Amino acid sequence: MKSIRDQVAVIGVGCTKFGDLYDKTYEDQVCEAAFAAYDDAGIDPEVIDAAYVGTYIPHAQGGKAGISLADPLRLYGRPVTRVENFCATGTDAFRNACLAVASGQHEVVLVVGAEKLKDRPGRGIPRVGHQLLAKGNSAPGLFALAANRYMHTFGVGRETLARVAVKNHWNGARNPLAHMQVEVTVEKVLAAPMIASPFGLFDCCPTTDGGAAAIVCRAERAHEFRKDPVLVKGAALAVATGRPYFDPTFDYLGFRSTQAAARAAFAQAGVTPGDIDLAEVHDCFTWTEISNIEDIGFCAKGEGWKWVEEGRTRIGGQLPINPSGGLKSFGHPIGASGVRMIYECVRQLRGQCGERQVQGAELVLAHNVGGPGAVSCVVILGLPA
């Protein structure tokens, strides 16, 4: 398989404040994120050859097609593609942009992820799948099944899950763009209302509005735009079954899509999990962060919870996980989350994250997993040699 390693550079990133953005439309979020990325890259919008927009749930305000980006940004006469791939929507949009540049089809490409989840007619996220078995289930309920299996298998208590929330809220409290900028204690997490056992309120990421953007170009042109470009080392997508509950070999201890995407991304980048300096992973629930770091290969299956207990995943620890605050604190506007992770990773590599800065970061990873573990995308970014 041919690798895109070092062929594509990120030259600009932008992000809105995440939260309950009732006073902003979908188009407002697109424009704010995109123009922040334009400013960051120091480019004129006319330079953009093509664009990708990531939105999971389109509705009246936008997200249905490429026009959701073309109209607010006046990107007419150029290809604009909408991407939707469960919670991997944003990272997959970024991956497609990288492939378009690496192929030589386009020179400079814009990626925007945006979502309006708060002020919409329907409540919650619509379920897909079996016409009977999908009735009445929810994202917390499905992930809770896996969390219970894991906790039973490895003898893990809710206190360990709570420590993930404490860590990510500590990080998010130091992030001015995060939805939930508040610290919590283990006691507060354990005392919160139960959502789907073992997940209480503070074990679940919030429903959030927000937008994020990134601009990529051919690596050899990157220095035309800025002196400190970030290189794309690998970007891989993997899909597994959307009905793992019908597979008698599925153990619910992790997700095969993440395992496959991570293997492919590391192979593209020519590095190992031990080379990564920090990671933004998909902590839609506290247990999911633990499972993800195992599936990606940072530690063995059944060891991730020990890393949490030992403080290895904190800023200053062996491998900081979610220094942004993660989905848990930053929020999860589904189409925007993956691009927001790219935003965080790029700024960490540039040394622009203040109190949350991971010192000496040179190689970083962003990861999303969506559906019932059905689809995963892993992106590896790094500094030029």
Task: Using only the alpha carbons of the chain, give its radius of gyration.
Answer: 19
Q: Minimal CA–CA distance to 319: which of 347, 282, 281?
A: 281
Segment (H or E) for 369: strand 363-370
CA 255 vs CA 165, 259, 266: distances in Å: 21, 7, 17
Which of the residues 15, 31, 87, 217 is marked catalytic? Answer: 87
What single-letter amino acid sits at 298?
Answer: F
Do 232 and 226 form a contact (C-beta atoms < 8 A)?
A: no
Give SS3 for 33: helix
377 catalytic residue (yes or no): no
Beta strands 80-83; 278-280: pairing state:
unpaired
- Please count the other Cβ atoms lying within 10 Å of the Cβ belonging to residue 359: 10
353, 320 Cβ separation under 8 angstroms: no
Catalytic residue status for 15: no
Q: Exposure of 129 by Cβ count < 10 A (0-12 exposed, 13-18 middle, 19+ buried)?
A: middle
Contact, 17 vs 223, CB < 8 A? Answer: no
Q: For residue 54, report the phi and psi dihedrals to the nearest 5 degrees.
A: -105, 120
The single residue of 106, 282, 332, 367 carrying the catalytic annotation is 332
> Which SS3 state, helix, strand or coil, does residue 12 take?
strand
The catalytic residue positions are 87, 332
